[in-house]
Structure 1
Amino acid sequence: MTPRTTAAATIAATVAVACLVGASPAAAAPKHGTAPAPAPAGSLVLIGGNLKENATILQRIVDLADPDGDGPAKARIAIVTAASSAAKTAEAAADDTLNNASANGLYYSALFERFGAETYAVPIDTAVNFAGDAYKPSNANDPKVAREVAKATGVFFGGGDQMRYVRTLFDCKNAASEAFTSCTDTKVMSAVRGVLDRGGVVSGVSAGTTIQQGADMVTGGEPYQAWRDGTTPGYLDDASALAHLPYGGFGFFPEGQLDSHFGTWGRQARMIKLADQTGHDLVVGVDETTALVYDRATRQGEVIGRNGVSLLDTSETVIEGAVGTGTRWSYLVAGDRVDFGTGAITPASERRTGAGTDAAPAPVADVWDSIDNPDAGVYSLVGLGVALVASVADRAEGTTFETDPQYRTVLERTAGTSWWDGGFEGLAITISPAD
């Protein structure tokens, strides 16, 4: 296919601004006699997974939910855990060491209360498995539950499977066929939107992050199968096959497609393929124990936590057969900022250009970190990129663990490449068959 013509490319052609994140131009001036639309309110805290009770991330969520700063009012956070499976027994529902919707509600409520917030565990999940189960799908349209959510100053979405949020918080036509068309909000979902529109914070971890994008939300798939086979609309029983939901998620994050566990599980290839096939110009991938804090009014993003956030500019990506070129990759770490309106990245440490002084990195095996190979190291592709920019080399590569076919990923410096402690901007990614 041919590259898409994007607003980012137009800006780059008319002003001398490096724009490597698929930015869009400023909104056109309103017509005479009409007022400009108000800027969207509220903030997002998008966590890539494996929160590990990270104090920096948790405190930021509570602070953003604080209605009067250091005043007497407290942050009140609604905890939604419907992405987890339903508890099988009353005993399992009451055990906050287990992984089910009810148990996770208890766990996250206690966790946020430790950081000074009041909480409300939203009693919604996908099934009722025992008598007296307080968590049930019908609560998504219960006015009493919706009113409790509406009182919140923040909402937190737990991890699991993002499609369970679609099934429980939307009313969709064609849900049985997995097409999920013409979805409308349940009462609880409407209340969540109200919290954000009043200036509150919506946060989520893993599936709770992925669900916050708009159209063409990823619903599953491993990088190798994604690159080999492409994407299918809907939700597939084969978890290794790439699939996406055309209707998408909540639509809270408008800047691009979202993915979680990103560097940990080597998901760059799957999202380059998905973005290309669905016509998106930017992918934002968040690593584990890391969050992107996004201000909806200013379109400013900040990275906090342990690892990093990837920005894949796919506006010039071309995939012909099994060969993909034209993707530009930037990797931001704690303290780094991005202006999604202009595309400008501001590192927290000194920015460098040109080659470094370290030795060229050796080729990496299992560069996409196949989840089927638990002995492989994590963050292989991220580590290769960080090593490349700090080295004397202009090129580095790795191959997939899987063969027949085996794929090679090549990273290269470009004229716009720069780097800093742990991060970089503007590396080119090329993927092709290894043979």
Structure 2
Amino acid sequence: MDKRSAVLSWCRAAVAMAAIFSQSAVHATGQLVIAGGAVRADNAEVFGEFVTHLSGDGPVVVIPAASGRPARSGQSAAESLAMFGVDAARLEVFPLALLDDRGTEDVDESSWKENAWDSALVRRIETAAGFWFTGGDQSRITQLTRSASGEESPFLQLLRKRLQDGAVIGGTSAGAAIMSTLMITGGDSFTALTQPEPGEYNAMTEQEQGHLSLSAGLGFLPRGLVDQHFDRKARLGRLIRALPLTGEQVGLGVDEDTALSVDLGTGEARVVGSGSVVRLDTSDASFAWDGETLASGIRLSVYPRLTRFRLSDGVLLETQGEPTMGNEYYDHSVRLGGGMAFPNQTLEQMLGNDLLDNAGTNRLVRVSVDSAGTAISYRFIQRGSSKGFWDRAQGANRYTIIGVGMDVTRTTANRP
């Protein structure tokens, strides 16, 4: 069996394992704060959301396991939490790391590798009110908290118990990826869509480029697949490709400096921070990775800050602003294309300004082309059930986008 076939076999086995896990998992009542990475140290909404949901007066634990600078990143996260109201006496950096940071001469962080299995260390935080995972490489977190055979460490067992009892678990970047039962470890959107069989993840450099790669996450979020750094790193395509591989029908793309806060007891979600959260629904979608139409029938929604929605079906519970449908501000035709010569819009602004708040069109196409002439087209369609809301917040137009249709096609750039 070649490597790629082995990876595909692993994906199928992992989907089956995930189904078993989801059936046997104890229903949790706690809170998740899933941050998309690059969270500013002074982001009051994201860190404040985590602090607000601390359960009890026990320790607040920072976990730097993903980082290549564990001691320093752990301390930095602790300082941010202290800035937003956590008593410094409650803060603990749990010493868990894979690599030594040569910049910290007084400590060898690689000696922390086995600490998730140290019962004495785990007992020290058994009443923890919350846990915060720093960014880095998400595969380090899973490697350090599970054995090679999949056995869960006492540390990971404690996290599950505390979440079940109402504690909050948060994390940024890598700390967001691990929330899913299966997680994305690397790859870029263009490769994921044009070379759609998954590959192996070998190094952190592959987080940004190459074949889509998947691995087992920690499964704190019972349903859905998370991707982070979403809009800035153009990860829409890789999330679309990853969904059928993992067996999930809901994808959640979290922007940088932004968090998706999930109440596991009620199933309600809230967006905080400066960006947006994208929700993909593929329950009625079809996929054909060897054809021209790669994906069709996807439903896409974009939720900006302070929006609340139901995680299971995306139903809007609270939003800011006024409906755009039938009251469009713009009326202009839109050039179909993409790349550096086109405006550098966020997905939220593009679908708002040029589609749902624009009477001049009900269809939008963005195209990416590589040097070999392969073209990927994202087609966004305003449907009868689509909804848009406009608001002016913090000096900028913000849009809530609900139920836009989406297809993905692959062609050659010189084809008419």
TM range (shorter): 0.7 to 0.9
AA aligned to 1:194 is K
Q: Is the 8 A contact 1:355 1:394 kept in 2?
A: no
Identify which of 380, 394, 404 aligns with 1:427: 404
Partner of 2:141: 165
1:28-427 superposed matches below 5 A: 39-53=27-41, 54-67=43-56, 73=57, 76-85=59-68, 100-117=69-86, 118-128=90-100, 132-133=107-108, 136-173=112-149, 183-215=150-182, 217-232=183-198, 234-237=200-203, 238-239=206-207, 240-246=209-215, 248-320=216-288, 321-323=291-293, 324-346=295-317, 347-354=319-326, 356-358=328-330, 359-366=332-339, 379-387=345-353, 388-392=355-359, 393-403=361-371, 404-421=373-390, 422-427=399-404
Shift of residue 290, structure 1, vs aligned partner? 0.9
Q: How many residues end up aligned between the 2 structures?
A: 364
AA aligned to 2:381 is E
Q: Is the 8 A contact 2:74 2:93 kept in 1?
A: yes
SS of the residue 1:144 aligns to: helix
Shift of residue 76, structure 1, vs aligned partner? 3.1
AA aligned to 2:64 is T
Between the aligned partners of 1:159 and 1:50, the Cα distance in structure 2 is 9
After superposition, the C-alpha distances for 1:155-199 in whole angstroms (9 at most, x for unaligned) are 0001111111111111123xxxxxxxxx12112111222221221
Between the aligned partners of 2:143 and 2:345, the Cα distance in structure 1 is 32
After superposition, the C-alpha distances for 1:41-74 in whole angstroms (9 at most, x for unaligned) are 100001111111211111111111152xxxxx4x
Shift of residue 276, structure 1, vs aligned partner? 2.5
SS of the residue 2:156 aligns to: helix
Between the aligned partners of 1:156 and 1:197, the Cα distance in structure 2 is 16
Give TM-score, length-normalised by structure 2.
0.81
Between the aligned partners of 1:114 and 1:66, the Cα distance in structure 2 is 18
Between the aligned partners of 1:264 and 1:352, the Cα distance in structure 2 is 26
SS of the residue 2:122 aligns to: helix
Between the aligned partners of 1:150 and 1:55, the Cα distance in structure 2 is 27
Between the aligned partners of 1:378 and 1:172, the Cα distance in structure 2 is 44
AA aligned to 2:49 is R
Shift of residue 39, structure 1, vs aligned partner? 4.5
Between the aligned partners of 2:175 and 2:327, the Cα distance in structure 1 is 38
Between the aligned partners of 2:347 and 2:46, the Cα distance in structure 1 is 25
Partner of 2:393: none
Q: Is the 8 A contact 1:418 1:426 kept in 2?
A: yes
Shift of residue 115, structure 1, vs aligned partner? 1.7
Between the aligned partners of 1:411 and 1:354, the Cα distance in structure 2 is 19
Between the aligned partners of 2:176 and 2:196, the Cα distance in structure 1 is 23
SS of the residue 2:377 aligns to: strand
SS of the residue 1:65 aligns to: coil
Shift of residue 233, structure 1, vs aligned partner? 5.7
Shift of residue 82, structure 1, vs aligned partner? 0.9
Q: Which runs of 5+ in 1 are unaligned?
A: 1-36, 68-72, 86-99, 174-182, 367-372
AA aligned to 1:166 is T
Q: Is the 8 A contact 1:313 1:328 kept in 2?
A: yes
SS of the residue 1:208 aligns to: helix
**Structure that is richer in helix per residue:** 2
Between the aligned partners of 2:197 and 2:151, the Cα distance in structure 1 is 25
Between the aligned partners of 1:273 and 1:254, the Cα distance in structure 2 is 20
Q: Is the 8 A contact 1:230 1:274 kept in 2?
A: no
Between the aligned partners of 1:230 and 1:275, the Cα distance in structure 2 is 12
Between the aligned partners of 1:230 and 1:143, the Cα distance in structure 2 is 43
After superposition, the C-alpha distances for 1:360-379 in whole angstroms (9 at most, x for unaligned) are 3433423xxxxxx9x99765
Between the aligned partners of 2:85 and 2:146, the Cα distance in structure 1 is 31
Instruction: Give the root-mean-square deviation of aligned CA atoms.
Output: 2.6
Partner of 1:4: none
SS of the residue 1:391 aligns to: coil
Between the aligned partners of 1:189 and 1:417, the Cα distance in structure 2 is 41
SS of the residue 2:278 aligns to: strand
AA aligned to 2:96 is I
Q: Is the 8 A contact 2:268 2:308 kept in 1?
A: yes
Alpha carbons of 1:155 and 1:397: their partners in 2 closer, same or farther (altered >3 Å)?
same
Q: Is the 8 A contact 1:260 1:285 kept in 2?
A: yes
Between the aligned partners of 1:124 and 1:336, the Cα distance in structure 2 is 35
